[in-house]
Amino acid sequence: MTNKQIDSLLRSTHFKKNVKDWKLIETHISFVLLGNKFAYKFKKAIKYSFLDFSTLKKRKYFCERELELNNRLSKGIYLKVLPVTKTGDELMIAGKTGAIVDYTLQMKKLQGSKQMHLMLKKKQVTKKHIERLAVLIRNFHERTSVINNQFKPEEFAERFNDLSSVSDIVKKTLGPGFDKIIKAAIRCSDSFLKTQQDHFKRRAAKGFIRDCHGDLHSRNIFLYHNPIVFDCLEFNDAFRHTDILDELAFFCMDLEAEGFYDLSKAFTNYYFSKTKAGFGKPEQLLFTYYKCYRANVRAKVNALRAMQASGNPLIKNLADVEKYLVLMNSYLKRLT
């Protein structure tokens, strides 16, 4: 889907009369139209080093994968994959005639005020919320598939070191000091993966690599009485097939990035209070490394967004790149 196609869709018969009731959200890889009852998600026709939505066939496949994978944690929220059709100059969702030009994933609209990152800003998230969320995630990890992959340090290093792909924009916009942080992080990661590889491999052998959510952070969580976790990562299985410590580290890094260290600590306490998975000093060292990696990913994603942005969004994206690089560097210092 392109910006031009989204504009055309909003001018179609389906949307035109009530266009004010719809809100468009754009990310670096998708568009989401939010209505009163439903939301429609469209994948951009793009290709990066870590995803490929460049063809109609691939966008359909990944819409279907997203539906399947998200029903593991948010059953009933993701509804169906629908075609986007074109008749003449008009685009329609699930049109009965015309050529199929794209696909969209239909979802139930959730209550915006329940989104965790907004509740965090308003200081509305309680330890009880965190406990229920920890129980939900722990139960999910215990039942999701074990991935019988061996831990391969060179493959993880490649993912970590992909941060270098945004070095140019970081150096240009934030200065050479932040480019030095990226280079130092890559050196530290390479060394850590080498010295700790036996521990990583033991965890893989014990079944701690699972088919996880892959994108566990506060924007992907709604804190109803029973929490809802959505937007599972569908576009790259390797990113989702990971150690549960990596999954937990992403969520805790996200909390710590906003200063909620107490909630981060409470989450790990609740999660590990009723599980056979250990969380001693060796696991905590790996946990810190994974937080470093996840800060790395967030810095890269925001740098990619900055490359597509201008004005205030550009300023916000660059501020986030800086925030996550600083956080990543703080974790690095605990590993050296």
The lowest-confidence range among 8-12, 23-27, 131-135 is 8-12
- Is 268 or 98 the better-scoring residue by pLDDT? 268
For the cut 80, the answer to whether the pLDDT of residue 19 exceeds it is: no
- Is 18 or 263 the better-scoring residue by pLDDT? 263
Distances (CA, A) of 133 to 251, 272, 315: 11, 13, 32
Residue 240: the pLDDT is 93
Residue 94: the pLDDT is 87
CATH 3.30.200 for domain 3-109: yes
Beta bridge partners of 83: 103
The lowest-confidence range among 9-13, 254-258, 303-307 is 9-13
Residue 21: the pLDDT is 79
**Amino acid, single-letter form, for residue 188:** C
Distances (CA, A) of 62 to 51, 219, 237: 10, 21, 11
> Would the CATH topology of 3-109 be identical to that of 116-335?
no
Q: Pick from 108, 89, 104: which is nearest to 42 by CA?
A: 104
- Residue 219 CA neighbour count, 13 Å, CB half: 7
Q: Alpha-carbon distance 200 to 88, whole Å? A: 56
- The CATH number that domain 116-335 falls under is 3.90.1200.10
How confident is the prediction for the chain on average, in pLDDT? 93
Contact 243, 204 (CB under 8 A): yes
Residue with token string 């990619």: 304
Residue 27: the pLDDT is 85
Average pLDDT over residues 95-105: 92
- Write out pLDDT tens, residues 252-281: 999 999 999 999 999 999 999 987 777 889
Please calculate the CA angle 166-172-178 and round it to the nearest 5 degrees.
70
Residue 107: the pLDDT is 96
Q: Where are the domains of the chain?
A: 3-109, 116-335
Q: What token pair was written down for 328? A: 């990543």
